[in-house]
Amino acid sequence: MTHPNLDNQSGTVAVLGLGPMGRALAAASLAAGHPTVLWNRSPAKATALVARGAILAPTVADAVDRASVVIACVINYEAVRAVLSGLERPPSGTFVNLSSGHAAEAREMAGWAAQRNVNYLDGAILTPAPTIGTPAATILYSGPRTLFDESLPRLESFGGSSAYLGADVGTAAAYEMALLDLFAMSVGGLAHAFALASTEGIAPTAFARFARGIGGLLPDMADRFADQLTSGAFAADISTIASAGSAIGHVRDAAAARGVDPTPLQAVQSIIERAIAAGHGGDSYARLAQSLVPADAVEAAR
C-alpha cells in the first residue's frame, strides 16, 4: 500500500537522526551509492556526511518528502514521535524505525502509521555503530513482509545480516529487549566481578585472563537453555540450581565483607531461592528462566 499523495524521489534514502548510529547508517547508504538525504535536530552533525555527498534537508518534512525509504534512528520512540510531530503530512515512503524501544512501543507506532496510511517497518540494530556497512552488522526487522522485501535493496547497504522476523511488528523490538537484558546483566556481572577482584588486590589484567573463560561458557549454555526450555526437561548434567545457590551465597558474603554492594547478587539469589522453594533445586540452570515467568506464559513460549 503506497501513500497516494506524494511523488517522492525513487530510491532516495532519508536518515532522520545523526547520533553515532544514524551517521553510520547514512555513511553506509552513501557508500552503497544511494542518494541520501539527512535531517537531525542538531544539523551540524551532518557536516562530514554532506562533504561525502549527502543532502542536508532544512526540515524533517523536506527530508521525508524526498525519500522512498525513511530511516528513523534517534534515541527512543518518544524522540521519533517528536520528530514526526514536525510533519504536516505523513511519510509517503516506507518508514523504517530503527530507534530502540520495546515491543508495545513498536506496535503503538505501527498503529499511528496505519491510521495515516503509512507503510511501517520496525527494526532493531543489534551491533555497534562501527559494524554498520560491514559484514559484522546485524539488524532485525518485523512488519509486513512485502515492505521488507521492497526495502531490502536499500536496507542491505547497512551491511551484514538483515533478518526478517515476521509480520508482528513488535518482534524485532522484543528480541532487542531480551538481548539487551542479557547484555545489561552481563555488563553488570563484569563490573561487579572486577570490583570484587580489586578489593583483594587482583590486577585487572590478571583477572581479565580468567574472566574471558567465564564469558566463553555462555554460547554453549545458550544452546543448552534453548534445548531444555523447548523440551521442558531440566536434567542437571553439569550443575544444579541448589549448587548455584550455595556458590552465590559465598560470593555475596565475600562482597559484603569487602564493602562491595551485594545487591545484584541478592537479586539473583532470590531467583534461585524461589526455584528451590518450588522444588527445582536438583534441576539445571535453565529451569530458572521458567521460574521467572508466570506459568501460562511458559506454555505459550514453547
Ligand X SMILES: NC(=O)c1ccc[n+]([C@@H]2O[C@H](COP(=O)([O-])OP(=O)(O)OC[C@H]3O[C@@H](n4cnc5c(N)ncnc54)[C@H](OP(=O)(O)O)[C@@H]3O)[C@@H](O)[C@H]2O)c1
According to CB under 6 A, which one of 6, 19, 175, 211 is a site residue for ligand X?
A: 19
CA distance 263 to 25: 39
- How many residues sit close enough to ligand X to count as binding (CB under 6 A)? 22
User: Does 74 contact ligand X by CB under 6 A?
Assistant: yes
Q: How many degrees, rounded to 5, is the angle at CA 127 between CA 37 and CA 27?
A: 25
According to CB under 6 A, which one of 41, 102, 116, 224 is a site residue for ligand X?
A: 41
CA distance 144 to 233: 36
User: Does 102 contact ligand X by CB under 6 A?
Assistant: no
In the range 111-130, which residues lie near ligand X by CB under 6 A? 125, 128-129
According to CB under 6 A, which one of 13, 14, 15, 21 is a site residue for ligand X?
A: 21
Residue 244, C-beta contacts closer than 8 angstroms, at least 6 positions apart: 272, 285
Which C-beta is closer to ligand X: that of 92 or that of 100? 100
User: Does 134 contact ligand X by CB under 6 A?
Assistant: no
Q: Smallest gap, in angstroms, from Cβ of residue 206 to ligand X? A: 30
Amino acid 104 reads: A
**Phi-psi sector, 149: left (phi>0), alpha (psi -120 to 50), beta:** alpha
User: Does 139 contact ligand X by CB under 6 A?
Assistant: no
According to CB under 6 A, which one of 83, 155, 197, 288 is a site residue for ligand X?
A: 83
CA distance 159 to 135: 6
Matching residue, cell 537522526? 17
Which C-beta is closer to ligand X: that of 174 or that of 255? 174
With contact defined as beta carbons under 8 Å apart, do 135 and 159 qualify? yes
User: Does 160 contact ligand X by CB under 6 A?
Assistant: no
Q: Smallest gap, in angstroms, from Cβ of residue 109 to ligand X? A: 13
Residue 64, C-beta contacts closer than 8 angstroms, at least 6 positions apart: 14, 16, 39, 70, 87, 91, 92, 93
Q: What is the CA radius of gyration of the chain?
A: 23
User: Does 96 contact ligand X by CB under 6 A?
Assistant: no
Burial-class residue 133 by CB neighbours within 10 Å (0-12, 13-18, 19+): buried
Q: How far is CA 193 from the centre of its chain?
A: 25
Q: Smallest gap, in angstroms, from Cβ of residue 74 to ligand X? A: 4
CA distance 164 to 123: 9
User: Does 169 contact ligand X by CB under 6 A?
Assistant: no
Residues in the chain, overall count: 302
Only one of the segments 69-77, 102-110, 187-195, 227-235 lies at the binding site for ligand X (rule: CB under 6 A); that segment is 69-77
Which C-beta is closer to ligand X: that of 59 or that of 230? 59
User: Does 50 contact ligand X by CB under 6 A?
Assistant: no
Q: Smallest gap, in angstroms, from Cβ of residue 126 to ligand X? A: 7
Q: Smallest gap, in angstroms, from Cβ of residue 188 to ligand X? A: 18
User: Does 22 contact ligand X by CB under 6 A?
Assistant: yes
User: Does 100 contact ligand X by CB under 6 A?
Assistant: yes
Amino acid 302 reads: R
Only one of the segments 74-82, 89-97, 167-175, 237-245 lies at the binding site for ligand X (rule: CB under 6 A); that segment is 74-82
User: Does 69 contact ligand X by CB under 6 A?
Assistant: no
Q: Which of 118, 119, 121 is nearest to 168 (CA)?
A: 121
With contact defined as beta carbons under 8 Å apart, do 169 and 123 qualify? no
Q: Name the residues that contact ligand X, by CB under 6 A.
A: 17-22, 40-42, 45, 73-76, 79, 82-83, 99-100, 125, 128-129
